[in-house]
Chains A and B, each alone.
Chain A
């Protein structure tokens, strides 16, 4: 079943002090099935973050539409947008975005508190998630007291705790070393195997190789996509890097 469908998405930024316009997204079309794990790759400035922000309802499209479960996101009322974000989406950011004034536990519970979830419900959801992510021992610490990898796992826990329809991750391994990245990706893969849909933007071929499908974006449009199928991880990695090479050389030829 199709969970997310993106149709003809276009985004034009107008600079604040001039009429200069940047076309960040030209015409993006793709869809994500329920239970999929999709990576989006592309050069810097190709519009990946812009795309993710529009799907996250953090930004508006200039034209085109995003459908979640068949419902257009642009029809959600302003008042409901925060609740929608809380209840249906889970976010993982490159720079963690944890709050220093909350303990790890409270950081994870934040979206539930905002949704006015009963305390019993919150406390029953927390233990399995933190155990899975291996941050059980740290839940009473503050963010500045744990490592970067642990912080990102906290962020994943915060995204998971609302049982979102889809997890949106923007370069989740961007601030992590290779070991912590590996660890995080294994966790995301495990989560996906329990049926959780994940859409992730990444620069890392290794990270992308954990997903089931990779989309390549160039000049604001989906240019190419490859499926992992039954391939082992290193073969899939080679295919991804080949595609990237093609992508950049074609780019040069175009100019």
Chain B
């Protein structure tokens, strides 16, 4: 018997098991396309160039989808192979050697993997191109974002899925070589057994989930968020699978033991059915839950970023016109003069352009890195070391009062103090050779201060700035970057044309001139670029949302179809002993709680716990308004629940029409 014989036999098997193979091939194709799209996005030019944290986030996405693919294909494969046990068991009884059965299985795997990988790559390419085109059009992107794929992403996809299909082949072969034929013949009848130690699994799931949640809740700052996000996601995914496997079996068994609930026609049929394939059921639900969480996070965050563009702009550029002055170590006095001169200069320039200065703010400041240690701020050279030091901004009182309109006065050993984490509770703070008695104030400074642990210290006058610098230089004589810098920001009132003219004039005056030590930025001229970047994020978010929703659709479809064919015989028998169509509907209805509510509720819990960490991540993109994110988040949860409801309804109709 040669390979040709086995390969044609394998092909015939696939054809004659169409009912099983079509959903299997379809959903494998979809998951392959999904992974391929994700890898392609990771290497996409926009993702690589727009923000330093995007490639990391997409890397996380790729790994998550990768893990998801492994679980999903193993899951669908186990479904498939279980229902073919009898058929393949017959080969053994008809006298085929195990080696030969393995060969048949090999060819079956080969054909189905070749087909789905090829189809997946093609589908991914088409879907990516098409949806990018559509989104470019619909979101009116100023610069089209191109969908690109590389040989590398093709290679990665092929490699991963060849590996996964290889694993399923080994699994299938082991199923048949280690089982006796009689057991195989009964394979389809036997229900799934409860996994061993399900209590331990349940406890483990709580530990994993709790750990993941804890990471999110306790995350101190955005940079830590990027670092820990992946771990948290991974923990929650593992926790979700374990929770569904142990928890759903636990609940189902409890329901079964409650006679008043169990012995009612709808529950009777659906609970026993779910217990019969408890693991498959659990994995399927966990898959849906994870995809739902991903849709909600991807879409709600990117919408928030987009909606928050204006706010982000205001955070980054607090005034319409912003001028930053870089200090010089050796000419501190000149810098001070220049600071006041410049203010007069820009007012003059503004008025020359026929505009009025509506509001103006200016302040000088000095920044240090260091750590809070037991009542004192200990300088550190720079931020390159592993542990992130605390950023301290020191401002003279005169400038602070000027910018806030407050009227504080400070004695020589007093200072105003703002701490982003509000974890420093002492009354005094030593810094350098000085000790200040502190009065706490709110963040009157830049919103960026909340990004990492930061301190603002308002000292009595400029002399303190210089003293602190002395102390610092005494500790790190080589250091060159501690200078007194200054910010000048002002709003103007007048015609748009005049505003534009002013911006252009200021730009040519202060930017790009070597040795000028200043930089001018106009909010208006930044706006367009900012919107195109944030539009790009929205684009990616909507794309991922679509992708994951499609994934949810396919998984739900696969689950309903395969379970429908599985249950068909049972419903026929039950109809013979008096099951009517309304009861079939009843039993599909009582699955709603499981199929619909459970994944959505748990996904919502996941995403709610992800809130703190995602909020920190959003800070990186300049979003500080919690309200926007909360509202979008709620809207997206509701919208996705609606979409999933439709998916659920349509697929359960499919199920109903199969079993009826």
**Which of B275, B576, B578 contacts A83 (CB under 8 A)?**
B578
B190 within 8 A of A: yes
**Which of B276, B570, B583 contacts A114 (CB under 8 A)?**
B583
Contact B191–A85 (Cβ < 8 Å): no
**Which of B276, B573, B578 contacts A82 (CB under 8 A)?**
B578
List residues of chain A with CB within 8 A of the CB of B576: 56, 58, 85, 91, 93, 97
B186 within 8 A of A: yes
Contact A114–B579 (Cβ < 8 Å): yes
A67 within 8 A of B: no
List residues of chain B with CB within 8 A of the CB of A79: 580
The CA of A114 and the CA of B579, in the complex, are separated in Å by 7
**Which of B189, B268, B578, B580 contacts A100 (CB under 8 A)?**
B189
A3 within 8 A of B: no
Q: How far is the CB of B650 from chain A (nearest CB, A)?
A: 25
Closest B-chain residue to A88, C-beta based? B578
Closest B-chain residue to A56, C-beta based? B576
The CA of A100 and the CA of B190, in the complex, are separated in Å by 7
Q: How far is the CB of A215 from chain B (nearest CB, A)?
A: 23
List residues of chain A with CB within 8 A of the CB of B583: 82, 114
**Which of A93, A98, A119, A144 contacts B259 (CB under 8 A)?**
A119
B273 within 8 A of A: yes
A:156-186 near B, CB below 8 Å:
158
Contact A111–B276 (Cβ < 8 Å): no
- Tell me which of A21-29, A101-109, A129-137, A216-224 binds B: A101-109
A10 within 8 A of B: no
B476 within 8 A of A: no
Contact A86–B191 (Cβ < 8 Å): no
Q: How far is the CB of B528 from chain A (nearest CB, A)?
A: 62
A82-B580, A100-B191, A144-B189 known; A113 vs B265 contact (CB < 8 Å)? yes
B263 within 8 A of A: yes
B574 within 8 A of A: yes
Closest B-chain residue to A82, C-beta based? B580
**Which of A58, A97, A113, A142 contacts B263 (CB under 8 A)?**
A113
B99 within 8 A of A: no
Q: How far is the CB of A69 from chain B (nearest CB, A)?
A: 18
A-B contact count (CB 8 A): 73
List residues of chain B with CB within 8 A of the CB of A101: 191, 272-273, 275-276, 570
B:247-290 near A, CB below 8 Å:
259-260, 263-265, 268, 272-273, 275-276
List residues of chain A with CB within 8 A of the CB of B570: 99-101
B19 within 8 A of A: no
A:108-159 near B, CB below 8 Å:
109-111, 113-116, 119, 122, 142-144, 158
Contact A119–B263 (Cβ < 8 Å): yes
The CA of A58 and the CA of B276, in the complex, are separated in Å by 28
List residues of chain B with CB within 8 A of the CB of A83: 578, 580
List residues of chain A with CB within 8 A of the CB of B580: 79, 81-83
A82-B580, A114-B579 known; A109 vs B263 contact (CB < 8 Å)? yes
A86-B578, A113-B263 known; A97 vs B272 contact (CB < 8 Å)? no
The CA of A56 and the CA of B577, in the complex, are separated in Å by 10
Contact A116–B264 (Cβ < 8 Å): yes
Closest A-chain residue to B583, C-beta based? A114
Q: How far is the CB of B260 from chain A (nearest CB, A)?
A: 6
The CA of A87 and the CA of B186, in the complex, are separated in Å by 32
List residues of chain B with CB within 8 A of the CB of A110: 268, 574, 577
Q: How far is the CB of B252 from chain A (nearest CB, A)?
A: 12
Closest B-chain residue to A106, C-beta based? B272
List residues of chain A with CB within 8 A of the CB of B577: 85-86, 91, 97, 110-111, 114, 158
B575 within 8 A of A: yes
B:116-155 near A, CB below 8 Å:
none
List residues of chain A with CB within 8 A of the CB of B265: 113-114, 116
Q: How far is the CB of B307 from chain A (nearest CB, A)?
A: 49
Q: How far is the CB of B583 from chain A (nearest CB, A)?
A: 6
List residues of chain B with CB within 8 A of the CB of A144: 186, 189-190
Closest B-chain residue to A86, C-beta based? B578
List residues of chain B with CB within 8 A of the CB of A87: 578
Q: Could you say which of A97, A98, A111, A142 has the most chain B C-beta atoms within 10 Å of its C-beta?
A: A97
The CA of A97 and the CA of B569, in the complex, are separated in Å by 9
A85-B577, A86-B578 known; A119 vs B260 contact (CB < 8 Å)? yes
List residues of chain B with CB within 8 A of the CB of A81: 580
B:175-199 near A, CB below 8 Å:
186, 189-191
B:549-589 near A, CB below 8 Å:
570, 573-581, 583
Q: How far is the CB of B591 from chain A (nearest CB, A)?
A: 14
List residues of chain A with CB within 8 A of the CB of B190: 100, 142, 144
Q: How far is the CB of A113 from chain B (nearest CB, A)?
A: 5
Closest B-chain residue to A90, C-beta based? B577
The CA of A122 and the CA of B570, in the complex, are separated in Å by 22
What 17 new A-B contacts, CB under 8 Å, besides A98-B573, A119-B263, A122-B263? Answer: A81-B580, A82-B581, A83-B578, A86-B578, A91-B576, A97-B576, A99-B272, A101-B272, A102-B272, A106-B268, A109-B263, A113-B265, A113-B268, A114-B574, A114-B578, A119-B260, A144-B189
Q: List 8 A-B contacts (CB under 8 A).
A: A81-B580, A99-B272, A99-B570, A101-B272, A110-B577, A116-B264, A119-B259, A119-B263
Q: What residues of chain B have their CB less than 8 Å away from a CB belonging to chain A?
A: 186, 189-191, 259-260, 263-265, 268, 272-273, 275-276, 570, 573-581, 583
Per CB-CB distance, the 3 closest pairs between chain A and chain B, nearest first, are A86-B578, A82-B580, A101-B276
